[in-house]
Amino acid sequence: MAERFPVWYIVVGCVLILGSWACINYKYIYSLYHYIYSVKPDITSQFEITGKHAHVIQSQPKKVESLIDDAMKSEITKIMPIALDEKDKPRVQQIFEPFKDNLILSWGVHPVILPLQFGIITAPGISKRQGAIEIAKAINVPLENILGVGDSESDWQFMEQCGFVAVMGNAKVSFKQLAIAAKNDKCFIAPTVDENGIIDVFKHFELI
């Protein structure tokens, strides 16, 4: 039973949704936020999941003795409970149930480390979609002139608002089909993240 204990990550600071820019300037972006986590020594699955997640964020998260103590001193952007697979999601949702009136739980995946399922807990009204809207307002650029890039179906909530979209090659086929059907010639399917596909995105849309 201990092996089924959820792994929790807390993202601290300012998370920018401009993933395409973040891929190239990752060291700068990473200085704006970091992941913190804690583990129980007898739960080996936590170490395995942390190793896989480190591959996605391209850095080791910060290990702390107590998530609660460290979180009290930090500006929390989101909390990420990780389910082992689709069947494990109800367990995380049950843990979240007492807080559903004050927080929002949504789900996303990183295609390269399936079957892990990433829960995303935020305050009400906080989402990638709202982030895209706020950024468009802040820089005074219409959403129809913005390029949205993603590799997970959870990214569609903000990409749908953008005039141009690109889907990374490591995304699910269903997500690629969704983007193509919705955006037609304003959609580009790029090579995978590990193949530096974001460079192809920039070239395709003549940004470089």
Over residues 53-83, the pLDDT tens digits come to 777 777 777 777 777 777 777 777 778 888 8
Q: Are 23 and 76 found together in one domain? A: yes
Quote the pLDDT of residue 175: 92
**Tokens standing for residue 106:** 């949504």
Q: Are 20 and 94 found together in one domain? A: yes
Q: Are 39 and 104 found together in one domain? A: yes
Q: d(Cα 136, Cα 96) in Å, to the nearest integer? A: 32
Q: Taking the C-alpha atoms of 146, 151, 154 and 158 in order, what is their torsion angle to the nearest 10 degrees?
A: 0
Q: Are 103 and 145 found together in one domain? A: no
Query: Does residue 167 contact residue 190 with C-beta atoms inside 8 Å?
Result: yes
Quote the pLDDT of residue 110: 75
Q: d(Cα 196, Cα 37) in Å, to the nearest integer? A: 28
Closest CA to 85 of 109, 69, 120, 59: 109
Quote the pLDDT of residue 80: 81
Give the CATH number of the domain where residue 149 resides. 3.40.50.1000
Quote the pLDDT of residue 164: 93
**Tokens standing for residue 61:** 């998260």
Q: Cβ neighbours of residue 53 under 8 Å, at least 6 residues apart?
A: 9, 35, 61, 82, 110, 113, 116
**Tokens standing for residue 195:** 């193949």
Quote the pLDDT of residue 187: 96
Quote the pLDDT of residue 23: 32
Number of domains in the chain: 2
Range of the domain at 61: 2-122
Quote the pLDDT of residue 162: 93
Low-confidence ranges of the chain (pLDDT < 70): 1-47, 111
Query: Does residue 140 contact residue 124 with C-beta atoms inside 8 Å?
Result: no
Q: Is the entire prediction scored with pTM above 0.85?
A: no
Q: Is the Cα dihedral 164, 170, 175, 180 positive or negative?
A: positive
Quote the pLDDT of residue 37: 62
Quote the pLDDT of residue 10: 44
Closest CA to 34 of 6, 9, 66: 9
3-state helix, strand, coil in the chain (%, to 5): 45, 20, 30
Q: Are 68 and 168 found together in one domain? A: no
Quote the pLDDT of residue 8: 43
